[in-house]
Amino acid sequence: MSSSAKANAALAAALTFLLLSGCAGYLAFSRLHTSESWVRHTRDVQVVLADFAMTTARAGRLRAEYVDSGDSTLLQRYAQAVDRVRGTLASTQRLTVDNPSEQAHWKELRDLTEQRIELMDASLELKRSGKSTLELQAPILRQIIASSESSDQILRGMYEAEEQLLSQRQQRVQVSSAVTNSVLVTSLFLALILFVAHHRLLTDQVRERGRAEALQRALSARLLTLRDEERRRFARELHDSVGQHLSAMKMAIAILQNKLPGDQTLQDCIRMLDESITETRTISHLLHPPLLDEAGLSSASRWFVEGFAKRSGIAVNLDIREDTDRLSESTELVLFRMLQESLTNVHRHSGATRADVSLRTSGNEVVLRIRDYGRGIPAAVLQSLREDGSCGGVGLAGMKERLREIGGHVEINSSAPGTEIVAKVPLRRRPKAQVRISTHAAQEVNG
């Protein structure tokens, strides 16, 4: 499996575990909410049962007080207590409707309560009628006590059943929460491990890609260097071999012309040889101008710009400041090739009739600026040139790579009046010894 596939698999697994963690969290909160609802429900049942016990006892006390005192104001309070007892019975039925056993207990409690209320009403009626005696009240009181004891037993059973349900529900919630928390923590831990693995795989991919890009840049730079060396060799061969042969042929034909004066064919041959020698010298200098090695970038740039203006018909305004110190060999070569490539593109694509070229030193940088006044570059092409140079052809892409190799960069700006290319490289001077050697070599060549 490739590193990309491993990284994608790690990411997919991490997202899966995160999804499982989210589901586990949702289930945990849902169960917690449900358990809290059941706990509140159980507490409500217990509260209603306690309220029923209190109101029932209060109704019994009011009955006993009326029988003892005969105070008629107690009857209204007794009636309110009885209504409250029946209300709590109805609430108990509503709260325990989902529990069959509790409903059975509720029915028994309801029957006992109604029986107790009937007995208390009978006791009160005896008192109101004036026939209340200890002998008549005693059996009613014994039945009320028996009914009360049965009701209390049923209430205790219902309360204990609710306590048991509460304990079971709380225990179930604890177990569920523990399992859910374990799943949640495990999923998050595994997701974290997978994210770390995914990050390491991505880091390895970025590192490998960086190494590949570095190797590619090194290869591109090496190919460009080999191309320059090949140009230099071809230029030397054209100048030293083909140029010398053409010159020798011209001399031989000149001797023939002295012997055959006025021969038109020989004159045409000499004229064509002159053109061939000039063209050979021009091609040789364009491949690699000797002035670049002998006199430096300023002289080579002037020579090239003047020749370009004559060949293309484009008026070029040249602004180069003379500098007594030579730039490093790589800097001069890269800037000269940048000038060649840029002006060639101006001639091929811009449709301009004039251009500006300037070469200045600004701080710790050497700035080469080429501007034309043509049709400009379309926005989409310009964006591609700025991002990766994919629309600029091999020449401009190669120049950008060579500038990057020596620490420089290129800026491309285009608008309606034309295009401006600005190449900036760090200022690096050539050692004095190399400058003296180049000067002596130039003197020997010129001598």
Give me the DSSP letters along 209-229: HHHHHHHHHHHHHHHHHHHHH
| Nearest partner of 326 among 294, 367, 363, judged by Cα | 294
pLDDT of 279 over the 80 cut: no
Q: Is the pLDDT of residue 439 over 50?
A: no
Residue with tokens 């054209």: 238
pLDDT grade, residue 443 (50/70/90)? very low
For residues 317 and 355, the answer to whether their CB atoms sit within 8 Å is: yes
Q: How confident is the model at residue 3, as a pLDDT?
A: 67
The pLDDT tens digits of the residues spanning 224-278 come to 677 767 766 776 777 667 767 777 787 888 887 787 777 788 778 878 888 887 7
Q: Is the pLDDT of residue 435 over 60?
A: no
> d(Cα 354, Cα 315) in Å, to the nearest integer?
5
pTM of the model: 0.50
Residue 26 clears pLDDT 80, i.e. is over it: no
The confidence score (pLDDT) of residue 87 equals: 92
In the predicted structure, residue 61 carries a pLDDT above the cut 70: yes
pLDDT at 389: 56
pLDDT of residue 291: 67
User: What pLDDT was estimated at residue 224?
Assistant: 65
Percent of the chain with pLDDT over 90: 5
pLDDT, tens only, 202-226: 888 888 888 887 777 677 667 767 7
CATH of domain 291-446: 3.30.565.10
| Residue 300 and residue 336 in contact, taking contact as beta carbons nearer than 8 Å | yes
Rounded average pLDDT over 312-331 = 81
Q: Which residue has the higher pLDDT, 91 or 395?
A: 91
- Report the range of poorest mean pLDDT among 28-42, 69-83, 97-111, 365-379: 28-42
Q: What is the pLDDT of residue 432?
A: 59
Asked if the model's pLDDT at residue 71 lies above 80, the reply is yes
User: Hunting for tokens 């500038």 — which residue is that?
Assistant: 403
Q: Are 366 and 403 in contact (CB under 8 A)?
A: no
Determine the pLDDT at residue 253.
80
SS3 for 288? coil
- The pLDDT value given to residue 129: 84
Q: Does residue 30 register a pLDDT over 60?
A: yes
440 has a pLDDT exceeding 50: no
What CATH class does 3-202 carry?
mainly alpha
pLDDT number for residue 84: 92
pLDDT tens for each residue of 378-402:
777 777 776 665 555 556 777 777 7
pLDDT computed for residue 324 by the predictor: 52
Q: What is the pLDDT of residue 131?
A: 81
Q: What pLDDT, in 10s, does the model give residues 288-307?
A: 677 677 778 888 888 888 88
Q: How far apart are CA 155 and CA 50, in angstroms?
A: 9
d(Cα 59, Cα 51) in Å, to the nearest integer?
A: 12
**Where in the chain are the domains?**
3-202, 291-446
| 35-54 pLDDT per residue, tens | 778 778 888 888 888 898 89
What pLDDT does 289 receive? 72
Q: Tell me how far apart the alpha carbons of residues 320 and 409 are, in angstroms, rounded to a whole number.
A: 20
pLDDT, position 285:
66
**Closest listed residue to residue 102, CA positions, set 54, 43, 53, 154:** 154
Strand order in the sheet with 365-372: 315-320, 354-362, 365-372, 418-426, 409-415
What are the residue ranges of helices labelled H in 238-354?
A: 243-259, 264-287, 290-294, 297-312, 329-345
> 100-141, pLDDT tens digit by residue?
888 898 899 899 999 989 998 888 888 888 887 888 888 888
